[in-house]
Each structure stands twice: as structure tokens, then as C-alpha cells.
A and B are shown apart, each in its own frame.
Chain A
Amino acid sequence: ETGVTQTPRHLVMGMTNKKSLKCEQHLGHNAMYWYKQSAKKPLELMFVYSLEERVENNSVPSRFSPECPNSSHLFLHLHTLQPEDSALYLCASSPSDRGDSPLHFGNGTRLTVT
């Protein structure tokens, strides 16, 4: 089992729904990340948290709202999404947010917005 667990694995939601993605890491890392992965495109960094404080928000629309209650858990709250938000959402963790150590990824949540 991976050290980073994401739930749910698949999610289908309408444009008016509200849902949340959950990520949990069991590696004792201090930094956690949300990435968006679309077909044939590079990974897009959305949010970075270090020791539960948000350190980066890459101009992500406000319909995506992150929450990091502690260093082991990360949530991504979704509301009034658009069809172009359909993608694989990946959570990752690393020992620090300095970018100098490998990321450990979960297996992602496949989101479909109808």
C-alpha cells in the first residue's frame, strides 16, 4: 500500500454539486501538494502546504478550496466546477517544500464533471 492514500478513487459530480477529495500520508513528511493531471499535459501544481501552512497557490480558481488540518491530512473542497475541471487530481508529500527531494504520490482521484 502506498504511503499516500487518496479517496475517493473516482468521482462524478454535476456542476452544482459540492464534494471533497481526501489525502492522507503516513510518511511523516512536512509538505503536501495538490496537482492536476490532464491528458498529454504536464502536471500542474495547484497548492503546497508546509507544516499545515499554505505556501503556494498557483492562481487556482476559487471553486477549488484546500484545507490542511494537520501535517498528515489534506483536503480539496470542490464546488460549482466546470467540465474542463475533469482530470486526475494527485496528492503528493515530501520531507520539505524546497523541491529538492522526491515527491511521493497517491494514486489520484479521477474526477468527471458533468
Chain B
Amino acid sequence: EDQVTQSPEALRLQEGESSSLNCSYTVSGLRGLFWYRQDPGKGPEFLFTLYSAGEEKEKERLKATLTKKESFLHITAPKPEDSATYLCAVQFNYQLIWGAGTKLIIKP
């Protein structure tokens, strides 16, 4: 069964404490993997698209990487404003399969 799993479900970090979020998938024939950020009371906001294993994308303190089985969202020296839920979605054929998200909390 095609599936996308995000871990951990929630992550609490101190400001400045770097870490990674994981998105693993069992989809065959990956066409793209998307990362979104969702703030409370808002819709998801697009961050990155990755298309092939080995690809990396960066934006401010965030870096997304992709292998054949998973993607990581690395956050370096996070700030409280990075607190949000991070969602990943995998595209195969013309469908998107979503993970349940990781809630990230950065304490000052």
C-alpha cells in the first residue's frame, strides 16, 4: 500500500538546537515530494519540491534532502518563529499522498 509516514509526531527544541524531521514513503514511481509549513489557524504554505534522490533545497534555516525512501527537513539553529506543523506530500502518477505532519515547537 502506498504510504507516507512522518516522524516524530511532535518535536520540542530549544532555540538554537538543530534537528531533523523525517518523511518516509513506500510509493513506487515517485514523481515529486513536497514540503509545506502550516501555522495554527492557517492553510499549508509551500516550502520545497524535490524530484530525485540526492537533490537538496535550502531556504533560510531549512534544508530539505531526498533519498529513494525518505526525505529529511533539517532545521539549523531554529528560532521560535519556526514553530509550526510541517507536512510532506508525495506525488505519484497524478495523485498526492500526504503525511500526518510533525508539530515543531521551538522554545526561546
- The finding on whether chains A and B are genuine partners in a shared complex, rather than unrelated, reads yes
Interface residues of A, Cβ cutoff 8 Å to B: 2, 4, 40-43, 45, 90, 92, 97-100, 102-108
Please report whether the interface of chain B is mostly helix, strand, loop or mixed according to DSSP. strand
In the complex, chain A residues whose CB is within 8 Å of the CB of B4? 42
Interface residues of B, Cβ cutoff 8 Å to A: 4, 9, 31-32, 34, 41-46, 49, 87, 89, 91, 93-101
Q: Which residue of A lies closest to B5 (CB)?
A: A42
Question: Is the beta-carbon distance between A99 and B100 smaller than 8 angstroms?
Answer: no
B43 to chain A, nearest CB (A): 3
Question: Is the beta-carbon distance between A104 and B46 smaller than 8 angstroms?
Answer: yes
A12 to chain B, nearest CB (A): 16
Q: Which residue of B lies closest to A42 (CB)?
A: B98
Q: Which residue of B lies closest to A101 (CB)?
A: B49
In the complex, chain B residues whose CB is within 8 Å of the CB of A107? 41-43
In the complex, chain B residues whose CB is within 8 Å of the CB of A45? 96
A28 to chain B, nearest CB (A): 17
**Interchain CA distance A45-B44 in the complex, whole Å:** 14
In the complex, chain A residues whose CB is within 8 Å of the CB of B100? 40-42
**Interchain CA distance A41-B9 in the complex, whole Å:** 11
